Amino acid sequence: PHAALALLGGSAAALVVWKWLGKRQIQKKMEEARRTRDEGMKKMVKVVQKFREQIPSVQTDAILSLPLLELTARLQEGSLSPKTVLYTYLEKALEVTQQTNCLRHFIPECEEQLQEIQRRREKGLLYGIPISIKDHIGHKGHLMTCGLVQCLGTLAQEDSVLVKVLKRQGAIPFAMTNVSQSLFSYDCSNPIFGQTLNPFNPQKTPGGSSGGEGALIAGGGSILGIGSDIGGSIRLPSSFCGLCGLKPTAERLSVWRTLLPNVDICSCPSPVPCALGPMARDVDSLALCMKALLCQEMFWLDPTVPPIPFDEEVYSSSGPLRIGYYDTDGYFPLPPCMWRAVQETREALQAAGHQLVPFSPPRIHYVMTELFLKTFFADGGHAWLNVFTGNIVDPSLKPQVNCCKIPRLVKKLLALILKPQFLLLSKLRTVAMIFTCRSVKEMWNHHHQLEAYRTEFITRWRELQLDVVLCPVLGPAFTTGYPGKLLTAISSTMLYNVLNFPAGVVPVSKVTEADEEELKLYRGYCDDPWDRMLKQAVAGAVGLPVAVQCVALPWHEELCLRFMKEVETLSREK
């Protein structure tokens, strides 16, 4: 007995030591990643200082104020040099990241790319334009972390297709931006690089998971960025930060080498695919970026991308549109300012000669509870849980992670107990992932349900003979920490990931004192804990951007952008 007890005690002690050593190793990896980032920042500071000493008379504010189209024209004609523009944006990006923690890493190879484009005879559409890219978009020699410890030891062996095409068009990728851990949150925080803040209010989040892009561009540290979107990760940061952002049809742009194989489960399941898209200050910038990317180089490098060049004629068209609209999806009521934004935009469009038609998206409760998250958590969330090495989980994700850990039997009991309370159950099911696909047959049936819903939605769209749809987007910017508690609030953006429709966001207004007063009367649909939490999340937002969402049918990105441009023009006139 004594020997057995000694053995048991020794084994327990060995287990404790082994776990401690494992955690210590993880901490060292995280510290090394942060140290590497900080050293990269210091190098960029020196590079910028050296440039300033060489050319002290650079008109920084004048360069930073130029819209992308005007900046490209100045670069093409030679009145501005790519070197001046690059170092101007490097300097501003350093300033913005000190305030917001938006950068994960500078790309020192940007200086090599600068030399490369200056040697070329032909100037691409994005000649000399500094561009930022989201953390998981592959750039040779750099990490693609997704905010996960397990990804800290793997460097990209080559550029992603998208980065290759950007470079071919003369762009200069200069920074990689911070993301939410595993890309599965619309906050922007991870245990390695920390919390990114909104440049307009440090109490607020910039949104996520492309929140680093949102904060950097909104703060003026980048003129054009590339994000990704699988539930609103381009559109929510655009809404929270007052930017224009486009989620294209998923297959319109290449996603090759933008995701790590061991974390694809949390980023790109096939029934609801991940889409890459541009984020910028205005719609013309998005259009120019899409035009540059949709070129023969991309079609050759990635033959899975349909060879459909950008249709300039559609984007430049000016005829009246038949526009469907709705101000709520009937699932998660948004704050008064977002409802106001849709109503005012609808009135402006109608006054401009467009035809506005009421439209109601079908069965959003069903989409949220049965289609969207069931796609990601068909296995009960086990594959997703596996990406959290050493159980290192960001606080913004702990509610979802803890729910995934609930035993399957307990989930079934919860489903039976709560079934009569449908609205409450729908919100709980979305967070707790109560229902999973229990067999291959059930998984195939789930895929069929997705296709059936897409058909139903398109049929309703066609019956009303719509060109595009105007609808709300979640906003204004949440206070940090709240997105993890309100996963169900993304129904406005998530819908168009399920449908795989192109959808974009355009800022049209700002939160007013009257909006804040009206928020005090907000009760949602049920006045339940989730509705009250949303009220808390968006409070104190006076002066922050308010946006709307514009949608078109699959493969009609040019029409979606043309509609966004119309909304942008009318809102600026107002």
Burial of 489 from C-beta contacts in 10 A (0-12 / 13-18 / 19+): buried
> 356: annotated binding-site residue?
no
- Report which of 364, 358, 344, 325 is spatially closest to residue 525, judged by C-alpha positions: 364
- Report which of 415, 462, 420 is spatially closest to residue 434, judged by C-alpha positions: 415
Using DSSP bridges, classify how beta strands 468-472 and 322-325 pair: parallel, antiparallel or unpaired.
Answer: parallel
What is the enclosing helix (H) or strand (E) of 224? Answer: strand 224-229
> 209: annotated binding-site residue?
yes
Q: Which of 233, 238, 254, 285 is catalytic?
A: 233
> 254: annotated binding-site residue?
no
Which amino acid type is present at position 266?
C
Place of tokens 């979107």: 229
Q: Which of 182, 185, 209, 228 is catalytic?
A: 209
Is residue 282 helix, strand or coil? coil
DSSP 167-187: HHTT-EEEEEE---GGG--SS
Q: Which of 29, 92, 132, 134 is catalytic?
A: 134
233: annotated active-site residue: yes
> 152: annotated binding-site residue?
no
Secondary structure in 3-state letters for 398-457: HHHHHHHCCCHHHHHHHHHHHCCCHHHHHHHHHHHCCCCCCCHHHHHHHHHHHHHHHHHH
- Report which of 137, 340, 565, 63 is spatially closest to residue 145, judged by C-alpha positions: 137
> 413: annotated binding-site residue?
no
Q: Count of CB atoms within 10 A of residue 439's CB?
A: 8
Burial of 7 from C-beta contacts in 10 A (0-12 / 13-18 / 19+): exposed
> 189: annotated binding-site residue?
no
210: annotated active-site residue: no
- Report which of 211, 153, 184 is spatially closest to residue 385, judged by C-alpha positions: 184
Indicate which residues carry an active-site annotation.
Answer: 134, 209, 233
> Which residues are annotated binding-site positions for substrate?
183, 209, 230-233
> Which residues are annotated binding-site positions?
183, 209, 230-233
